[in-house]
Each structure stands twice: as C-alpha cells, then as structure tokens.
Amino acid sequence: MFFTNLAKITAWLALIAGAGQLLIGFGVASEIFGPYEQALARYAPGAANSGDVIDRGLFILIFAIAVGTLAEISRSVRGPRE
C-alpha cells in the first residue's frame, strides 16, 4: 500500500512538472516570455533550444502516465483486502 500511494504521488508530481516544461518550451518558442535567446537563458538554462525543453516535458509526461498506470494496476490487484 505504501508503494502504491508513493507511485500515485510521484505520477501526479511528474505530470505537473511535465506540463510545466511543455508550457515553458512552447512559451519560449513563441516568444511569449520575451526575445528567444533571453527567455531560453532565463527559463530553461542549460537547454540548447526550446525543442529540448519540449522533448524533456514529453518524456516526463510519458513517465507520469506509466507510473500512474502501474499505480492503478497495483491498486486494482490489491483489491478489497486492505
């Protein structure tokens, strides 16, 4: 039960982080946050371009979906015993 709850919390946090990365990546790419180079340096330090930030966000979202699915499987297998 502990690991199921921990996986569920991890999935939610990863979902929020992944969505944030996507928003930052698209915001930098469309220059919502200001000029491209300055926004990239400010909001995504270490990223070569906004595509890297978007890719990182997508990978985090895929991870969140996988962990969430495993948590739901764990909860359903556990059944009404606990």
**Rounded-to-integer distance, Cα 28 and Cα 36, Å:** 6
- The pTM of this model reads 0.87
Q: Are 15 and 61 in contact (CB under 8 A)?
A: yes
**How far are the Cα atoms of 17, 53, 79 from residue 46, in angstroms, in the given order?**
17, 10, 45
Per-chain mean pLDDT for the chain: 93
Measure Cα distances from 57 to 27, 71, 78, 82 in Å.
13, 21, 31, 35
Q: Hunting for tokens 């906004």 — which residue is that?
A: 50
Convert the pLDDT of each residue in 40-78 to its tens digit. 999 999 999 999 999 999 999 999 999 999 999 999 997
